[in-house]
């Protein structure tokens, strides 16, 4: 969506994202006995390699002031869901 008023223009920005990453705790001594009575179970859980997926949808509005045909200044406000 695009709207222009005087030297200002307004645009709607929709940006879906998918992030996939892997995690594994390498130093098993990072989880110490003072983490609780089940620290060995927590250590096993953290040192097991796992893949995590994150889905995101960013919705934003761009407000742009056009000084000249080749120069402009803009502000972007985004809500990330």
pLDDT band at 67 (very low <50, low <70, confident <90, very high): confident
Q: What is the pLDDT of residue 36?
A: 87
pLDDT band at 1 (very low <50, low <70, confident <90, very high): low
Q: What is the pLDDT of residue 6?
A: 81
CA–CA dist 81, 75 (Å, integer): 20
Total count of domains within the chain? 1
CA–CA dist 25, 43 (Å, integer): 9
CA–CA dist 69, 59 (Å, integer): 27
C-alpha pair distances (Å), 26 with each of 40, 49, 50, 66: 15, 9, 12, 52
Model confidence, pTM: 0.58
What's the average model confidence in pLDDT over 49-63?
Answer: 95
Per-residue pLDDT tens for 6-55? Answer: 888 899 999 999 999 999 999 988 999 998 889 999 999 999 999 999 99
Domain that holds residue 40: 2-80
Q: Which two tokens stand for residue 18?
A: 């998918």
């Amino acid at each position: 969506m695009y709207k222009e008023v005087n030297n200002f223009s307004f645009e709607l920005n929709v940006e879906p994202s998918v992030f996939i990453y892997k995690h594994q705790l390498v130093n098993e001594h990072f989880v110490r006995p003072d983490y609780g009575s089940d620290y060995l179970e927590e250590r096993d859980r953290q040192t097991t390699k796992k893949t995590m997926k994150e889905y995101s949808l960013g919705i934003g509005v761009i407000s742009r002031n056009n000084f000249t045909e080749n120069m402009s200044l803009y502000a972007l406000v985004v809500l990330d869901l």
